[in-house]
Amino acid sequence: MSPSTDFVPFARPSLGPEEEEAVLAVMRSGWLTTGKVTKAFEEEFAAYVGSSRALAVNSATSGLHLALEALGVGPGDFVVTSPYTFTSSAAVARHLGAEVLFCDISAEDYNLDPEKLEAILATTPRVRAVIAVHIGGLPCRMAELLDICGRRGIPLVEDAAHAFPSRFPAGSLPAALVRGKSEPLAGTLGAIGVYSFYATKTITTGEGGMIVTEDPVLAKRMATMRSHGFDRDAFDRYTSKTASWYYEVAEAGFKYNLPDLLSAIGREQLKKADRFLEERRSIARAYDEAFGGSPLLETPPRHPAHSWHLYSLRLRGPLAARRDEFFERLQAAGVGASMHFIPLHLMPYFAKRYGLAPSSFPEAYAKYLRTLSLPIWQGMSAGQVERVAAAVLETAAGFKA
């Protein structure tokens, strides 16, 4: 297959005149950093996901850090998470002096295996939190995970960086878990949920994230710690006609706030979230139809709440051991594929610290070796989707056993 100049990128944000106008309005307002636009974004996001509290932050990584800090994670504690994720999911535990315990993923998908988690928790004291990662937008087996953690009094944090808006159908989860929500979203079921608005995500602010929780104590702690531990907002101190210049540092906090410039983009993206989801679902259906008959290609697992941040294609048969070569040929054919994820137990830092080998987590390692991610983003044209599908099929046909 000859290279094409019509390159289809792996990801591209879908931004329109609405986002441009919103940013210009902030620029003209005289206030650029965290203020009333961010507050409005928080309120609108909380209403969308059905949560009573949402806190905007400058990244999902910051949100996970704040979540664990608010839960009291510290030296001597353990945090359990998956090795099949981005480094943030584990690194935040190390930022607080805690140790990471990896739990392998399920055979059927890329998420935490509840049975394996149960075994870890049954034999490991001082597990202070579990971070469940909804990889690619496919929700974890939340009923099982919440039951396992709940019986031991261990808070479950949802890393929902990929999972907006992963909405569970009504009646698909036990009533006790959904807190009265008719169609709960992934990220709203655990003690704390964290979303990402990075440039490649399902909605974007360029950089940014959102934390949701129903716990007022946790919310207050995270709100304080995201802004240097101040007892009041900078917006109030600098803009109110009756505000005093005086403030106090209540805690040694962080600089994790989201500015109005980025929140303005987020507010407009949020309005389009449902349409964006339908576009990605349509692309996933087209890929499934194209690849479903190939003995060399395995389509991703499906779920009615899948947000389709990633389309993770697995290679079979003679292709399974030649993933890297397949990737290179696909790139040469003009398709911007990617890899999600290189398991963390293969990374030098975690491998050395915890004495891990590739075989330590066999499911994560095996799936990594034969998986690649295809472009799936709102704004892709039908022609681009067809070109990706054709390139994948032609590339697969070009391999010989």
Q: Which sequence positions are flagged as catalytic?
A: 201
Strand order across the 99-102 sheet: 54-57, 209-212, 192-196, 156-159, 127-133, 78-81, 99-102
DSSP H or E segment with residue 313? strand 311-315
Site of tokens 């929500």: 181
Q: At what angle do helices 114-123 and 142-152 cross, to 10 degrees?
A: 10
Distance CA 204, CA 15 (A): 9
Distance CA 8, CA 382 (A): 12
Whether residue 213 contacts residue 193, with contact meaning beta carbons closer than 8 Å, is answered with yes
Distance CA 67, CA 65 (A): 5
**Residue of 145, 255, 139, 152 lying closest to 190 (CA atoms):** 145
Query: E-strand spans in 35-123?
Result: 54-57, 78-81, 99-102
Site of tokens 């022609």: 383
Q: At what angle do helices 60-70 and 88-95 cross, to 10 degrees?
A: 40
Other beta carbons less than 10 A from residue 57's beta carbon? 28
